[in-house]
Amino acid sequence: MGREIRKVTKGWEHPKDKHGDYKPMFDEDYDTAAQGWIKGLFEWENATDPDISATRKEAEEEYKCRYYWAWVGGPPNKKHHRPKFKEEPTCYQIYENVSKGTPISPVFETEDEMFKWLVKQGYPQKAAKKFIKNKSLVSGVFFADKNGMIEWLVEEGYSRESAEKYAEENFGVSPGIAIHHPIIDSES
């Protein structure tokens, strides 16, 4: 849950609903998603993949879940998937992916353009570079205690002092929940 960078075509316009709001959509066209779901169904039923067989056995024994659709959900819904691109996507766009995904940035032809836009939006340079490198960003993480939060923030690149300060100010907003977003990190 958070932000992700999607590859899009030049001039891409994300579909909108009748009210002019972006339609939340997964970053996969319907046909590709449907074919993947059908492939998964056959692998589940035929137990052709050792990993799928183990998962199916666990699902049946521990969760009394015999059928593929009960384990992974029903087949894809066309309205939740983006249209198929007519050309190879060569540009970039940032999406929120707490829902299925809606754009939160313009389309960029290069990662450098995207980097400059992120910095202009208030992202520290270090965080913007890391986001572009990883192609995604977590915006919420659950912690059992404040020390766990501090250790995670240090692993994410915060200084120990900054992590301790952030944890002190934010842990307990809701028990065990802390919001992490690079815009809050003043270190660049």
Nearest Cα to Cα of residue 36 among 77, 88, 83, 76 = 76
Single-letter amino acid, residue 87? E
- Region 142-163: mean pLDDT is 73
pLDDT band at 158 (very low <50, low <70, confident <90, very high): confident
Residue 65 pLDDT exceeds 80: yes
Convert the pLDDT of each residue in 77-127 to its tens digit: 999 999 999 999 999 999 998 778 999 999 999 999 999 999 998 888 888
* Helices 146-155 & 160-170 angle (0-180, nearest 10): 140
* Helices 125-134 & 111-120 angle (0-180, nearest 10): 140
Question: 162 to each of 94, 176, 183, 188, how far by Cα in Å?
Answer: 27, 19, 13, 12
Q: What percent of the chain stands above pLDDT 70?
A: 84
Considering the entire predicted model, what is its pTM? 0.71
Residue 153 pLDDT exceeds 90: no
Residue 142 pLDDT exceeds 50: yes
Residue 174 pLDDT exceeds 50: no
Question: 85 to each of 9, 27, 78, 82, how far by Cα in Å?
Answer: 7, 11, 15, 9
Q: What is the pLDDT of residue 140?
A: 62
Average pLDDT, the chain: 83
Residue entry with tokens 């190879």: 88
Convert the pLDDT of each residue in 2-37 to its tens digit: 889 999 999 999 999 999 999 999 999 999 999 999
Least confident interval from 27-36, 53-62, 135-144:
135-144
Residue 175 pLDDT exceeds 50: no
Grouping H, G, I as helix, E, B as strand and the rest as coil, residue 71 is: helix
pLDDT band at 183 (very low <50, low <70, confident <90, very high): very low
Q: Burial letters for 63-91: b for 16+ Cβ neighbours within 10 Å, e otherwise?
A: eeeeebeebeeeebeeebbbeeeeeeeeb
Q: How far apart are CA 165 and CA 172, in angstroms?
A: 13
- 153, containing H or E segment: helix 146-155
